[in-house]
Structure 1
Amino acid sequence: MFEKNNAERGQVGIGTLIVFIAMVLVAAIAAGVLINTAGFLQTQAEDTGTESTEQVSDRVQVLSSTGTVTGGSAEAVELTIQKAPGAGDIVLDQLFIEWVGDVSGELDVDSATEDIEVLSETSERATISLTGLSLDPGQSTDLTITTGSGAQTDHSLNAPDVLEEGDTVRL
């Protein structure tokens, strides 16, 4: 009643095996592509995280700001700075300082601290001289100090209401 044809059954089994092997190869190639992509994305995310951390933490702290009174204005402004806690090395030549406010002069930045080019320890201090900046009595301006990594520190300079010739005043 039923006829057995074993020859056709063997061909179906071999065809299924070939399809199965092809599917395994395609899956292996797809897995390799996914692993490579994941590795690339992980590296890119780590780099982005490092750069973002530097932009937030690699800042300086202004410990003091003083000026010498000349001609009725506070001039020859000096900032004493240190690197902020958790900050990486701060290269003084890479500092960029700008001011916002109605003050006269052209800003010229000089590092007055000898033998220190990089702040690598929190205990190290550097003095930055801002020549050309002149504050009249009661006048103020805001400074933004940007490090080489892009981290910014804001500091306000406020001249006292009374300035006496030759005095050094805290700003």
Structure 2
Amino acid sequence: MFETILDEEERGQVGIGTLIVFIAMVLVAAIAAGVLINTAGFLQTQAEATGEESTAQVSDRIQVVSTSGNVTPNSNGFVVDNVTFVVAKAPGAGNIDLDETTIQVIGEQGQNSTQIGDLNEPIEDIIGVSNNVLTDNSDRAAIQVSLTSTDLDDASITEGGDFDNYGELRSGEEITVTFTTPSSATTTKEIRVPTTLTSDQTSVRL
């Protein structure tokens, strides 16, 4: 079925045109491979960055260890005018800069927010905190929020109009406090003031 070519003069010859086409195909293949490798590298880098950001949004958050309020008298009885949050790093979190962390208060009197670094009251470093940055799981810091000062001064609009601070917490009042770290990880704390506040109390656990 197959004929054997014995005459050397009858064998096919590869011309210069075929060689040029072959070289061109090799070059095109090499360029395409280079583009694919560069694209794959870019996608890998982007995927790693996205993964790190997504992980930070989940893990780089703070946890509220305890919450207490300062009890003070006013014309209608006793109220809480200052709230102290003792905070720490959540398990698996990286370093957290408290100055760049945002605190938001939402409750019956409306809502307001500010960065912790803008608070009038300083952050009290209880254990191991340096420059208001939580670096270790054992670090503890106390964040003091005065509800009657201009700490919360975003002038949020409520049904009653503008306000420059949230206001004192009355007996039985509830608020929701949300901490948002620089990596956008959030921690929410529900606070409820006891229904009875007396002159025997200088502070109360919330």
Could you say which residue in structure 2 is the equivalent of 1:97? 103
1:161 is matched with: 195
Query: For residue 76 of structure 1, what is the amino acid of its counterpart?
Result: N
In structure 2, what is the Cα distance between the partners aligned to 1:78 and 1:160? 16
Provide the rounded CA distance (Å) in 2 between the counterparts of 1:48 and 1:142: 30
* Between structures 1 and 2, the one with greater helix share: 1
One-letter identity of the residue aligned with 1:167:
T
Cα RMSD of the aligned pairs, angstroms, is 2.4
Report the alpha carbon displacement of residue 76 of structure 1 after superposing the two structures with TM. 1.3
2:171 counterpart SS class = coil
For normalisation by structure 1, the TM-score amounts to 0.87
Other-structure match for 1:149: 183
Deviations 1:54-106 (A, max 9, x none): 11100000011000111211121100000000000011111110011114897
Query: For the residues of structure 1 that align with 2:186 and 2:144, how far apart are their CA atoms?
Result: 18
1:31-71 Cα deviation digits (max 9, x unpaired): 00110111111111111111111111000000110001112
- Cα deviation digits, residues 93-136 of structure 1 (max 9, x gap): 11110011114897773412276321101111000001025210
Question: Is the aligned partner of 1:73 residue 2:79?
Answer: yes
Q: How many residues align?
A: 167
Q: CA deviation at 1:14?
A: 3.7
- Could you tell me which amino acid in structure 2 is paired with residue 112 of structure 1? E
Specify every segment of 5 or more residues in structure 2 that has no aligned partner in the other structure, as ranges. Answer: 1-6, 148-166
TM-score w.r.t. the length of structure 2 is 0.73
**Structure 2: distance between partners of 1:41 and 1:134:** 52
> Superposition pairs for residues 41-80 of structure 1, below 5 Å?
41-71=43-73, 72-80=78-86
Distance 1:105 1:53, change over 3 A: closer
Question: In the alignment, what sits opposite 2:143?
Answer: 128
Kindly, what percent of the aligned residue pairs are identical?
Answer: 50
Give the 3-state SS of the residue equivalent to 2:125 in structure 1.
coil
More moved, 113-122 vs 91-100: 113-122
List gaps (5 residues or longer) in structure 1. Answer: none
SS in 2 for 1:113: strand
Distance in 1, matches of 2:194 and 2:81, equals 13
